[in-house]
Amino acid sequence: MSEENPYLVNPRWLLAEQVAGQARRRYPADILAIGVYGPLAHGDDDETSDVNLVAVTYRPGMGPRPATRRLDGVLVDLAPVGADDYLAQARTLSASWPLVADRYVSTKPLHDPTGWLPALRDAHLGRLASARPAEFTSLARQAWCRGFAAHTRAVWLAQWYQIDAALLMLGAARLAAATVVGLFTRTYFRTDADAVIRTGLAGADMTELGTVLRDQATELAARGRPVDGTVADLFGD
């Protein structure tokens, strides 16, 4: 790394480089690229941030194994993935798109001699450019169903005074509702916490979240993807 690089003084970046260097030395014939994503890639990490690494391999199942460990007090996550599989993921839109898209477009290279990571970004952006509005609406309905199920469960648990479990389900419902917002607006988020904060749902209680989900159901119906239907509708759009 160049001495002029501003990441030089960041201990988490130096740790990421050490892990990447070790991976390259151990698997020199398997690794196509190594990058870092998440807060460290955005340059807004702090002492509580993890180090998230992706190791792109020429073939699936080769190179390092998935690993998560604390190193020098910092949690490090290393995720290997085959190049073809990762490109296929980048070209696929799912109901979790607002929570995973950031890594496709914001990963910073630690080792990328062929420029593969920018190609991954371009593949994802190209898929977004070709996506029809109806695709995002259908995915939003899937996310809404997850949120509705979690919220319904949270209400039931609260009624039976299982408060800890109810709060856990309420958190899942908030995240799903935030994902719906992201799909409605084609907005992706850096983390789960970022999703609920930016959508204003981080502090939503049971009643408020129920109102949000009802409003989202109305919006889905207006967009041609009603949440209620018949058995035949289950096999439709």
Identify the CATH number of the domain in which residue 76 sits. 3.30.460.10
pLDDT digits (tens, 9 = 90+) for 209-222: 999 999 999 999 99
Of 74, 102, 130, the position where a domain reaches its end is 130
Mean pLDDT of the chain: 95
Same domain for 126 and 16, yes or no, is: yes
Residue with tokens 């420029």: 115
Q: Is the pLDDT of residue 4 over 70?
A: no
Same domain for 86 and 169, yes or no, is: no
Categorize the per-residue pLDDT at 5 as very low, low, confident or very high, splitting at 50, 70 and 90.
low
Of 99, 130, 161, the position where a domain reaches its end is 130
pLDDT digits (tens, 9 = 90+) for 170-179: 999 999 999 9
- pTM (2 d.p.): 0.93
Q: Within 13 Å of residue 237, how many CA atoms lie on the same side as its CB?
A: 16
Same domain for 117 and 19, yes or no, is: yes
Same domain for 75 and 103, yes or no, is: yes
Residue 54 CA, chain-centre distance (Å), reads 13
Helix 97-106 and helix 83-90, axial crossing angle in degrees, nearest 10: 120
Query: Within a domain: residue 186?
Result: yes
Q: How far apart are CA 75 and CA 85, in angstroms?
A: 26
**Domain carrying residue 180:** 133-235
Query: Within a domain: residue 1?
Result: no
Model pLDDT, residue 234: 87
Of 130, 158, 188, the position where a domain reaches its end is 130
Instruction: Please compute the mean of the pLDDT values over residues 183-206 and round it to a whole number.
Output: 97
User: What's the number of domains the chain is made of?
Assistant: 2
Same domain for 11 and 118, yes or no, is: yes
Give the H/E segment covering residue 56: strand 51-57
- 3-state DSSP call for residue 35? strand
Same domain for 123 and 146, yes or no, is: no
Same domain for 44 and 120, yes or no, is: yes
Same domain for 115 and 141, yes or no, is: no
Query: Within a domain: residue 84?
Result: yes
